[in-house]
Structure 1
Amino acid sequence: MQTNTPERRRITPSVLYPGTPVVLMTTLNDDGSTNISPLSSFWALDDRVVLGIGTQGQGCHNLLARRECVLNFPGSHQAAQVEAIARATGRTPVPDAKQAMGYVHVGDKFALGGFTAIASRQVGPATIAECPLQVEVTLLATHRPSGAGDAHFVIAEGEVRCVHAHDAITIAGTQHIDVQRWQPLIYLFRHYLGVSAPLARNFRAETPASAAT
């Protein structure tokens, strides 16, 4: 019996980013200023979030030391701002591994990326005003990957304290995001992409059909 199964081959990609939202994590530096760390490993379930964070960056140091952060989600129109701080690190001196990849120390990533810092409500680090979706988080636990040897990353689990969203991406009179207007920046195999118009609606969606189609 013949089938129309597509041909496939086994591959070993250098990175596995099949499509995740870009997150700009803000954390408090030792001097009280706020650092910005671009992340691409994120997922959420109920009021819990899980992050994959490189241990050689200032963001990881700050998160472990003060156990709080803000997850700022940029829109697709902000790819240039995100890439402007991509090579920047708050660590000084710059770790050898990061220096070999082209990272340089930058003390003020807000200025470098053209971002504005505003006070958060429940945590110490500043929020990025221009990011349409902002999630304040308290760290609950960190995990070293089992069997990963000297892996230069940790898995961080946090609790959502509060969520802010630009009025323009919400549905008035509800607690919902308007998926027609919210266009997150997606990280796909080290390329930045936007998202298309909604294609369908899951049976559990709570937003009106008119807002998603």
Structure 2
Amino acid sequence: MPCLIAASVDSAVEMTLVGMSTTLPAHTSIEPGILYFGTPVVLISTLNEDGTPNLAPMSSAFWLGWRAMLGLGARSKTAQNMLRTGQCVLNLPSDDLAPAVDRLALTTGADPVPPRKVERGYRFVGDKFGRAGLTPVASETVDPPRVAECPVVMETVVEGTHPLADDDPAQRGGIVVFEVRVQRVHVHEQVRMAGTSDRIDPDAWRPLIMSFQKLYGLGPQVHPSTLAQIPERLYRGPDIERARQVS
């Protein structure tokens, strides 16, 4: 059995294994105010009470199959619209749409502006599409419009809501996590993999990424992926068949 010994050496850790040593970086405990290590930007379109569209950027999202989990401030206009209508569209901007996304920064569709957003410098904007310079187009299965310029768009319905940090009285009621089910996926032709009908080409799709409040693009593949050897058809779940029944 090899012997593994760790010892602190300045700002690194020296690992000794059967007489051979190597120096590895040491960890330091920190307390960052946010933990946005890099996720895709999503423009969520919803409908206001008067039927006008709202458009809001966010990046607290992840997908499993044809479901997504979205974390939103409970008092945001987007969250209120989703709770009321049970619908939204997830528009994924490419990295070249960063200026349009940034024009929506520090704006909200909520009037009056929630106190915490006032503190951070937000202001009310009624026409979010106009502010961003983006084009609304009709959706097929839900009422909120799609963003024409976004290469990937998903029409979704709310299937569940989950409180976050409900254990803490100071945070209780402040954040809600939405579980949404995708009913239709639309893509620009240039991001579809050549010779296929249902696959995205990861070399053509360049998502806009937010990392610690800054906007980045996605670089080229850095290493072959063993997981990519699994045929994508083996991931197809029952929600796809369910989506086909929606007109």
Q: What is the TM-score normalised by the length of structure 2?
A: 0.80
Q: Which residue of structure 2 lines up, in the alignment, with residue 131 of structure 1?
A: 150
Report how far residue 203 of structure 1 moved: 2.7
Bigger mean CA offset, 137-146 vs 20-29: 137-146
Partner Cα distance (1:23, 1:11) in 2:
28
Q: Name the CA distance, whole Å, in 1 between partners of 2:195 and 2:127.
A: 38
CA deviation map 1:54-83 (0-9, x unaligned): 112110000000011000000111111101
Q: 1:19 aligns with which of 24, 34, 38?
A: 38
Structure 1 segments of 4+ aligned residues over 6 angstroms from their partners: none
Higher relative contact order (CA 8 A, sep 6+): 1
- RMSD of equivalent CA atoms: 1.3
Work out the CA distance in 1 between the residues paired with 2:104 and 2:64.
28
Larger radius of gyration between Structure 1 and Structure 2: 2
1:1-213 pair list within 5 angstroms: 1=16, 2-145=21-164, 146-149=166-169, 150-151=171-172, 152-174=174-196, 175-205=198-228, 206=231
Shift of 1:33: 1.1
SS at match of 2:25: coil
Q: What TM-score comes out, normalization by structure 1 length? A: 0.93
Shift, 1:173, TM fit: 3.3
121-130 vs 168-177, which moves further: 168-177
Deviations 1:6-26 (A, max 9, x none): 122001100000110000000
Counterpart amino acid of residue 138 in structure 2? A
Secondary structure of the residue aligned to 1:38 is strand
**Partners of 1:53 and 1:181 in 2: CA distance:** 29
Gaps of 5+ in 2: 1-15, 233-247
Aligned identity (percent) is 39
- How far apart are the structure 2 equivalents of 1:4 and 1:123? 56
Give unmatched runs, 5+ long, in structure 1.
208-213
Aligned length: 207
